[in-house]
């Protein structure tokens, strides 16, 4: 279960685990709840995440798409060099802000 | 997940129809690479392996209980060969090889990720066996 911190309008979600196919259904549900509550500024903190696969990326993109429709934004912080590389390779860094660990 | 064969250069596994099996197979493959002193591309290998196994279980075998996926990782000099075979009906893979996902599509990235992180990617005619090669050195 992700650690969730609220700083004013901003919600910081720290999954604390890899975002891969076996783990992603629960993570998707957590994001869905936050979006349904009206979150518009979502930050995903990947400090303890070593791996993201295409299923995990799909969960982030789903949140990004929902936020975009409402004028909100999604950022990724503390991405490892490898994960940052994956965001670049898939060009997802063009759509949400990704910063390194 | 069952390890069916293992030596310092090769690992063969058989996976059941659950996504958690992918995590176990990745853990064993990580051990193979670390044991061979090949940590340099660990992230890339595990990412590619995850994508291939996710597809085999989810799309190939359609998560059908009783259907298995076989996975063989073999170190050949500077290369790693990964062979994944499922018990599904296969698919028309040719049009998918060069397909790019929509910029913010939620799915359809697995194949392009595998293509970008490997030196070669080959399907058998039926489309239920995939061979991936990666340069490790």
**Residue B5: per-residue pLDDT:** 96
**Backbone region of residue B14 per phi and psi (left: phi > 0; alpha: psi in -120 to 50; beta: other values):** beta
- The pLDDT of residue A101 is above 80: no
**Residue B40: per-residue pLDDT:** 92
Express as a percent the part of chain A with pLDDT over 70.
100
**Residue B109: per-residue pLDDT:** 92
Token pair of B47, please? 């990412």
Q: Do B105 and A62 touch (CB under 8 A)?
A: no
**Residue B55: per-residue pLDDT:** 97
Q: Do B104 and A65 touch (CB under 8 A)?
A: yes
User: 0.80 cut: is pTM over it?
Assistant: yes
Size of interface A-B (CB pairs under 8 A): 59
C-beta of residue A31 within 8 angstroms of C-beta of residue A61? no
**Cα–Cα distance for residue pair B11/B32, rounded to 1 Å:** 7
**Residue B137: per-residue pLDDT:** 79
Q: Which residue of A has its CA nearest to B107?
A: A58
**Residue B24: per-residue pLDDT:** 98
- Cα-based distances in Å from A6 to A52, A72, B21, B31, B54: 24, 16, 35, 39, 34
Neighbours of B5 (CB within 10 A): 9
Write out the H or E segment, with its range, that includes residue B107: none
Model confidence over A14-31: pLDDT tens digits?
999 999 999 999 999 999
**Residue B92: per-residue pLDDT:** 92
**Cα–Cα distance for residue pair A85/A87, rounded to 1 Å:** 5
Angle (nearest 5°) at CA A86 between B19 and B28: 40
Among all chains, which residue has been given the structure tokens 């940052």?
A84
ipTM: 0.94
Token pair of A46, please? 């990947």
Minimal CA separation from B104 to chain A, in Å: 6
Taking only the tens of pLDDT, chain B with its 137 residues reads 999 999 999 999 999 999 999 999 999 999 999 999 999 999 999 999 999 999 999 999 999 999 999 999 999 988 999 999 999 999 999 888 888 888 888 888 999 999 999 999 999 999 999 999 999 97
**Cα–Cα distance for residue pair B119/B16, rounded to 1 Å:** 28
Q: Do B43 and A53 touch (CB under 8 A)?
A: no
């Amino acid at each position: 279960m992700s650690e969730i911190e609220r700083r004013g309008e901003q919600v910081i979600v720290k999954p604390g685990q890899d975002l891969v196919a076996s783990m992603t259904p629960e993570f998707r549900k957590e994001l869905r709840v936050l979006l349904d509550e009206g979150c518009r500024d979502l930050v995903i903190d990947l400090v303890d995440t070593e791996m993201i696969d295409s299923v995990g990326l799909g969960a982030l993109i789903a949140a990004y798409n929902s936020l975009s429709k409402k004028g909100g934004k999604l950022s990724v912080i503390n991405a490892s060099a490898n994960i940052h590389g994956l965001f670049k390779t898939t060009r997802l860094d063009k759509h949400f802000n990704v910063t390194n660990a | 997940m069952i390890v069916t064969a293992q030596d310092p250069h090769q690992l063969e596994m058989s996976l059941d129809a659950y996504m958690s099996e992918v995590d176990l197979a990745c853990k064993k493959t990580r051990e193979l690479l670390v044991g061979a002193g090949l940590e340099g591309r660990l992230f890339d290998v595990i990412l590619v392996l995850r994508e291939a196994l996710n597809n085999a279980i989810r799309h190939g075998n359609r998560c059908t209980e009783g259907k298995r996926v076989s996975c063989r990782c073999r170190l050949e000099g500077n290369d790693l060969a990964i062979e994944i075979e499922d018990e599904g009906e296969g698919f028309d893979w040719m049009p998918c090889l060069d397909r790019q996902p929509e910029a913010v599509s939620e799915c359809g990235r697995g194949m392009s990720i595998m293509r970008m992180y490997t030196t070669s990617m080959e399907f058998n005619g039926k489309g239920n066996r995939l061979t991936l090669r990666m340069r490790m050195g």
